[in-house]
Amino acid sequence: MPRTSQSLSSNASLLKSKASKHAIFGVVIALVAIGIATLGVAYMKDGGISFDAVVRAQTESPTLWVLDAMPFIFALWGQYVSSIIAYEASAMVIDQTSDLRTQTTIMEQQAMRNATYDALTDLPNRILLRDRLEQAIQSASKKNRRLAVMIMDLDRFKEINDTLGHYNGDRLLKQVATRLQSVIQEPSSVARLGGDEFAILLPRISEVKEVGTIVSKIHKALQSPFVLDTLKLEVQASIGAVIFPEHGTDADTLLQRADVAMYVAKEKQSGFVVYSSKHDEHSPHRLTLMGELRHAIDKGHLVLHFQPKVNVKSNVVEGVEALVRWQHERHGLMQPDEFIPLAERTGLIKPLTHWVLRESLKQCAAWRQAGLNLCVAVNLSAQGLMDMELPDTVAGLLASNDVPAERLILEITESTIMMDKDRALQILTRIADMGVRLSIDDFGTGYSSLAYLSKMPVKEIKIDKSFVMDMENNKSNSVIVHATIELGHNLGLSVVGEGVENAEVLGILDRLNCDSVQGFHLLRPIDGQAFDEWLSKAQEKGDLHIKDGNICLTPAS
């Protein structure tokens, strides 16, 4: 500030000196003009120029008296004007400098805020959250009390972004931030870490159940549909929580473990998980797999296994279900439950779904060329089903592999359909119109409306194996299966019993008029080459025969 004042003073002095200099030039010119006028008057009166003539001209000519006074008048006036100009110039410089200083201060404050606050939601960002968490840890340590940190991630947000665009995705995030702030009354305790990930800091808690109460309030706040113009979106979230000091004593550890708990909640679809040390053994494994999955899809490290579906009455193998596996270099053959959730979270579910469809239809085409009448069923995940480009993808793959549409069955679950009923109906109708058959997998485990399911263009339901496997010992399960078979037939659907692991269960399903069965009792899932070898060996042993392209199993005696 003193330096600025000194600079302004010097600038004002410089302007004043320049103005005074020009005023002096004017006075000098005026004096020269008076001198010339005096000499002219002296010459006109005396006919020559002399000292006496000049004196007489000055003393006897009142007009020259007035001219003599003019340089002094102009000098004073010029000095006055130069002072005014210098003052106004200084004031102008001061005003402009003050404005620049104000703007600079505002810009500095904005830059500091941008470094610590999220531009979209105006919530604290990761940097500010970490700073406040460290302060809360110090305070909690001194006062011997607990605090909690929660990390929340929106479910299926990438799908919303991809479908509705980032503009609408951002609008949704703003609404989520507003609802979170209405739940968490602590000032600046809600932060946005990036993307669709938020953090909540509870600097004072007395017991763990308080965290559960807050989580319940958050889930309740998110229950009401989010409105984007004419669209109504239902949004759910997965939340992971940690407690200080039980789960960590520094900010980085607490945040990392809260993130681990959140991913466990997402994988289990439980909505909320409190961190436990047993979760850590899965965390590095999960992070490594996330980086390797893209490579596995591109390099063909995935494999398909096939499990036959057999008609109960005719013993004909109607088709096979394609089940994806990951042949990992270090972890061996990995089941889909270990990597499908990762694919859904990282956006790899679309290329993964395309790979499974392509390879399944390629194998179906090979069997068709070999003269076998086999359909192939492919499971669709929630994000896979909600892909608006799916019908076009299916049509293209059917055409490129020269496979009739009726040879492909797409299996979806009840919960998948109910996530977005209208969109699911639109996509499934387009697929069904091609001639592709649709099947509801794991039927009986969802909470769907039968009235709505009856509107879906499905041809088949598959009773979940949890009801089938223990039918011979559990009468309740037997009743449920019987009722489901009757329901399916009344709706004009064929019914498949999954999880048939022994002859007793197969016999019960036969008596209950179940149409088809699938399970380890018939054949475990095996890859395409092993399936062909099984066909050859079973034919040699007389366990099956092929007639008109149909694979017929020999009934057990």
Q: Determine the pLDDT at residue 15.
A: 52
Measure the CA–CA gap between 190 and 188, rounded to whole angstroms. Answer: 6
Phi, psi angle pair for 389, to nearest 5°: -85, -5
Q: How far apart are CA 305 and CA 528, in angstroms?
A: 7
Copy the structure tokens of residue 66: 């007035």
CA 29 → CA 35, 37, 42, 280, distances in Å? 10, 12, 20, 94
- pLDDT tens by residue, the chain, 557 residues: 445 445 545 555 555 555 556 556 666 666 666 666 666 666 666 666 766 666 666 666 666 555 555 666 666 666 666 667 666 666 666 766 666 676 766 656 555 556 788 888 989 988 888 899 999 999 999 989 999 999 999 988 877 776 677 788 889 999 999 999 989 877 668 999 888 999 999 998 888 888 999 999 999 999 999 988 888 888 999 999 999 999 888 888 898 889 888 988 887 888 999 988 776 555 556 666 766 888 888 887 899 999 999 999 999 999 999 999 998 888 788 888 778 877 776 678 888 999 999 999 999 999 999 999 999 999 998 778 878 889 999 999 999 999 999 999 999 987 777 666 778 888 999 999 999 999 998 887 654 556 666 778 999 999 988 889 888 888 888 999 999 999 999 989 999 999 999 999 999 999 999 999 999 999 999 999 999 999 999 999 988 899 999 999 987 65
Same domain flag for 173 and 320? no
Are 329 and 216 part of one and the same domain? no
User: Do 78 and 140 belong to one domain?
Assistant: no
Q: What residues have CB less than 8 Å from 432, skipping those under 6 apart?
A: 438, 457
Position of tokens 């004042």?
5
Answer whether residue 467 is part of any domain: no
How far apart, in whole angstroms, are the C-alpha atoms of residue 176 and residue 120?
12
pLDDT for 556:
65
Domain co-membership, 373 together with 353:
yes
Task: Work out how many domains the chain is built from and give that number.
Answer: 3
State which of 116, 150, 170 marks the end of a domain. 116
SS3 for 288-299, per residue?
HHHHHHHHHHHH
Round to whole Å and give the CA distance between 282 and 10.
Answer: 70
Find the CATH number of the domain harbouring 365.
3.20.20.450
| Shared-domain flag, residues 166 and 92 | no
Dmax (CA) of the chain: 162
What's the CATH number where 131 sits?
3.30.70.270
Residues 76 and 131 in one domain: no
Check residue 35 and give its pLDDT: 67
Domain that holds residue 17: 2-116
426, 549: one domain: yes
Of 116, 144, 168, the residue that ends a domain is: 116
The amino acid present at 194, given as its one-letter code, is G
Question: What is the torsional sign of CA 270, 271, 275, 279?
Answer: positive
Alpha carbons 286 and 200: distance in angstroms, whole number: 24
Q: What is the pLDDT at residue 53?
A: 64
Instruction: Specify whether the CB–CB gap between 306 and 525 falls below 8 A.
Output: yes
Within 10 angstroms of residue 32's Cβ, the number of other Cβ atoms is 11
Residues 272 and 313 in one domain: no
Retrieve residue 284's tokens: 């590095």
Tokens in use for 389?
């480009």
Contacts (Cβ under 8 Å, ≥6 apart) of 460: 409, 437, 438, 439, 440, 493, 494, 495, 496
Domain boundary among 91, 116, 141: 116
DSSP string, 505-551: HHHHHHHTT--EE-STTT---EEHHHHHHHHHHHHHHTSEEEETTEE
Predicted confidence at residue 381, as pLDDT, reads 83
In this structure, the answer to whether residues 106 and 20 fall within a common structural domain is yes
